[in-house]
Amino acid sequence: MAVYTEVADDELARFIDRYGLGEVISCKGIAEGVENTNYLVHTTQGRFILTLYEKRVRREDLPFFLGLMEHLANAGITCPTPVRDRNGEMLNELAGRPAALVTFLDGMWIRRPRPEHCQAVGAALAKLHLAGRDFALTRENALGPKGWVELFSRFEDRADEVCPGLTDDIRRELDELLPIWPKGLPAGIIHADLFPDNVFFRGDQLSGLIDFYFACNDYFAYDIAICLNAWCFEQDYSFNITKSRALLKGYEQERVLEPSEREVLPILARGAALRFLLTRAYDWLHTSQSALVKPHNPLEYLRRLRFHRTVRSASEYGLETVA
Amino acid sequence: MAVYTEVADDELARFIDRYGLGEVISCKGIAEGVENTNYLVHTTQGRFILTLYEKRVRREDLPFFLGLMEHLANAGITCPTPVRDRNGEMLNELAGRPAALVTFLDGMWIRRPRPEHCQAVGAALAKLHLAGRDFALTRENALGPKGWVELFSRFEDRADEVCPGLTDDIRRELDELLPIWPKGLPAGIIHADLFPDNVFFRGDQLSGLIDFYFACNDYFAYDIAICLNAWCFEQDYSFNITKSRALLKGYEQERVLEPSEREVLPILARGAALRFLLTRAYDWLHTSQSALVKPHNPLEYLRRLRFHRTVRSASEYGLETVA
């Protein structure tokens, strides 16, 4: 992990005491999560994840993230639920950082997802979209089309260091995509980062969703497009239509896509691939060679983007088009 | 952590299955331990620590370490107990590395130990010494006096980069210490690294000892000397005789020191300080600036060493000398 804040035993005991969760039995720092420091804390009353928010998370976004998790959990989505302290607060301070305690979620993420996992993910995504509809707070998608342009401008002159020609690839894609980016699609709360490592399973049963720190308001179908990129490509970058069909089928079991959403799915999928290409290329250029967390290879998303550029209709993702 | 090996969910499930420990409920990489990769694994049958041994641990030492933990646990010492698989094996392979599963130990380490903690540590150390007496395997202390000379020779020409004059300090100490290093003291299995982060407490109750990966055969009193260095200095490097008195009192509740051991305690304490000064100075010079795990400051042990050089008799550590 990139950042790691130490918490002393007595500080922790005082912190946990605010929540009335009994005695701390054990506390282990977790070697996951690049953005924040996470501890798995056992108390006499159960297991919890303690998160200390490091610099990359904006403090003013925390009430949205924590409020959303609580809202979704109340609506029946299995996700970490923030614990409120004796004063009703979800957000406190520990070791000089904003800190929150959430319930521990059983399960493991699946390294080699099969179509049945994709179907479960599709269904869970749709349920999340429906459950988020009456959440009061909103958060703009900082990594939507406007954000892409801004982010690209910060490394445009160095993009060819990632791979020769990447500057032109990205510029051409932005030029093509921005004018045709859809308007007025069904929108609401989206997860925006529902990759395999954020979905827990016990056996083949989906047991929960985690990491809501990219959640925001945007098109529901864009969230699906992110999942198509995240779940349906094989290691050799081939697109597995059996998986995407399963994912879309799972989604439509809970929420049927509108014709307007179906039609633009290839455009949204290009946008989603571009979004991860941009952030990964940026991280690639801005992570020191010796950092522990190796940045993901951005070019995986150039490959995905090229695939989506060849797609002519949503039926190529396995979506059965309504006559 | 310096090294971190990923384990896939399906690999893990197969591995755990060898032990007949039920279904894996969760698995979190732990951000502790510089030498090895550690996971906290929950199965339907309990909590375990899964350790993947990385390069710094010699594979041929593993039967000693694992056998010792099992032996001590059977003798009533609360320490991680290796779990044997269906074939009776404690050592297996996972993700291309030697791997073992040990029981999880509740408790947390104490950042600011008080005298009562030191007394509990002293007693636990003596119990460990007694319990190790009938352990069949042996392991030479690679970081004993012979090892110091060898280790120093590897960075002697650069020691002044740590601090000007360090080369002379160490050379003089070796010249003085080696000829007077005691011979024939009571010996057996020692922990050799019983620092506060290797001792767990629940509240003020000692709940277990961990990290036996420096354990070896050496003088019992040398292990005490290591603890005097590890537990009895304050942040300002002042020596807290109340703590050392408590530690020695705790020890002697379980095992009374022989006169030969008492007499040489100041010499052993110098040796212990020198041992950590040497390894820390070596790590200081050989860790890249950008490494995640910042090496400990070696000079803390130069300060300790200088203190021990002023000590004339064990009574200055609070040990009541027998008339």
Q: What is the CATH number of the domain that holds A86?
A: 3.30.200.20
Entry pTM:
0.90
Instruction: Give a yes or no: residue B159 inside a domain.
Output: yes
Instruction: Give a yes or no: residue B268 inside a domain.
Output: yes
Q: Which residues of A touch B16 (CB under 8 A)?
A: none
Q: What is the rounded (10 degree) CA torsion for B123, B137, B5, A108?
A: -70
Q: Which residues of B touch A80 (CB under 8 A)?
A: none
The answer to whether the beta carbons of residues A64 and A2 sit under 8 Å apart is: no
Q: Spell A254-287 as b/e; 16+ CB within 10 A means b.
A: ebebeeebbbbbbbbbbbbbbbbbbbbbbbbeee
Determine whether the interchain pair A42/B106 forms a contact, defined as Cβ–Cβ distance below 8 Å.
yes
- Tell me how far CA of residue B105 lies from CA of A159, B3, B69, B83, in angstroms: 49, 23, 13, 13
Q: What is residue B289's predicted lDDT score, i.e. its pLDDT?
A: 57
Q: Count the neighbouring beta carbons within 10 Å of the beta carbon of residue A149.
A: 12
Determine whether the interchain pair A26/B106 forms a contact, defined as Cβ–Cβ distance below 8 Å.
yes
**Cβ-nearest to A31 among B23, B30, B42:** B30
What is the Cα–Cα distance from A60 to A48, expressed in whole angstroms? 23
Same domain membership, residue B197 and residue B163: yes
Same domain membership, residue A172 and residue A60: no
Residue B226 DSSP SS3: helix
The answer to whether the beta carbons of residues B70 and B80 sit under 8 Å apart is: no
Alpha-carbon distance B38 to nearest alpha carbon in chain A (angstroms):
9
**Cβ-nearest to B26 among A25, A27, A106:** A106
Same domain membership, residue B143 and residue B74: no
Instruction: Give a yes or no: residue A323 inside a domain.
Output: no
CATH of the domain at B302: 3.90.1200.10
Same domain membership, residue B128 and residue B99: no
Same domain membership, residue A69 and residue A152: no
Q: Where are the alpha helices (DSSP H) in chain B?
A: 9-17, 62-74, 115-131, 145-153, 159-162, 166-180, 220-231, 241-254, 259-263, 265-286, 299-310
Q: What is residue B323's predicted lDDT score, i.e. its pLDDT?
A: 46
Complex ipTM tops 0.90: no
Beta bridge partners of A38: A30, A51
Q: What is residue B293's predicted lDDT score, i.e. its pLDDT?
A: 57
Query: What is the full DSSP assignment across B176-223?
Result: HHHHH---S--EEEE-S---GGGEEEETTEEEEE---TT-EEEEHHHH
Range of the domain at B19: 9-104
Query: How large a percentage of chain A has pLDDT more than 70?
Result: 95
Convert the pLDDT of each residue in A18-40 to its tens digit: 999 999 999 999 987 667 999 99
Determine whether the interchain pair B112/A27 forms a contact, defined as Cβ–Cβ distance below 8 Å.
no
Instruction: Give a yes or no: residue A26 inside a domain.
Output: yes
Convert the pLDDT of each residue in A245-293 to its tens digit: 999 999 999 999 999 999 999 999 999 999 999 999 999 998 765 555 5
Q: What sign has the CA pseudo-torsion A221, A146, A69, A52?
A: positive
Q: What is residue B302's predicted lDDT score, i.e. its pLDDT?
A: 95
Instruction: Give a yes or no: residue B163 inside a domain.
Output: yes
* pLDDT higher than 80, residue A3: no
Q: Which residues of B touch A109 (CB under 8 A)?
A: 9
Q: Which of A56, A75, A104 is the last residue of a domain?
A: A104
Instruction: Give a yes or no: residue B323 inside a domain.
Output: no
The answer to whether the beta carbons of residues A199 and A109 sit under 8 Å apart is: yes
DSSP symbol at A192: S
Same domain membership, residue B141 and residue B92: no
Give the nearest chain B residue to A207 (CA atoms): B25
Six-digit token string for B72: 């001590």
Same domain membership, residue A221 and residue A280: yes
Q: Which residues of A touch B26 (CB under 8 A)?
A: 104-108, 200
What is the Cα–Cα distance from A164 to B166, expressed in whole angstroms? 50
Question: Residues in chain A, how many?
Answer: 323
Same domain membership, residue B65 and residue B146: no
Convert the pLDDT of each residue in B97-122 to its tens digit: 999 999 999 999 999 999 999 999 99
Determine whether the interchain pair A1/B31 forms a contact, defined as Cβ–Cβ distance below 8 Å.
yes
Instruction: Give a yes or no: residue B119 inside a domain.
Output: yes
DSSP symbol at A82: B
Same domain membership, residue B123 and residue B247: yes
User: What is the count of residue pairs from A and B with beta carbons less than 8 Å apart?
Assistant: 81
Alpha-carbon distance A161 to nearest alpha carbon in chain B (angstroms):
23
Mean pLDDT of A66-93: 97
What is the Cα–Cα distance from B43 to B40, expressed in whole angstroms? 10
Task: Provide the domain count of chain A.
Answer: 2
Q: Which helix (H) or strand (E) holds A254?
A: helix A241-254
Q: Which of B48, B75, B104 is the last residue of a domain?
A: B104
Same domain membership, residue B119 and residue B47: no
Task: Categorize the per-residue pLDDT at A226 as very low, low, confident or very high, splitting at 50, 70 and 90.
Answer: very high
Instruction: Give a yes or no: residue A312 inside a domain.
Output: yes
For B173, what's the count of Cα atoms within 13 Å in the CB-facing half-sphere? 29
Same domain membership, residue B157 and residue B186: yes
Same domain membership, residue A175 and residue A57: no
Convert the pLDDT of each residue in B124-160 to its tens digit: 999 999 999 999 999 999 999 999 999 999 999 999 9
Q: Consecutive sets of 10 residues in chain B, 323 residues long: mean pLDDT of each? A: 76 96 94 84 96 90 98 97 97 96 96 96 98 97 96 96 95 97 98 97 95 97 98 95 97 97 97 97 80 74 96 91 55
Q: Which of B104, B138, B170 is the last residue of a domain?
A: B104
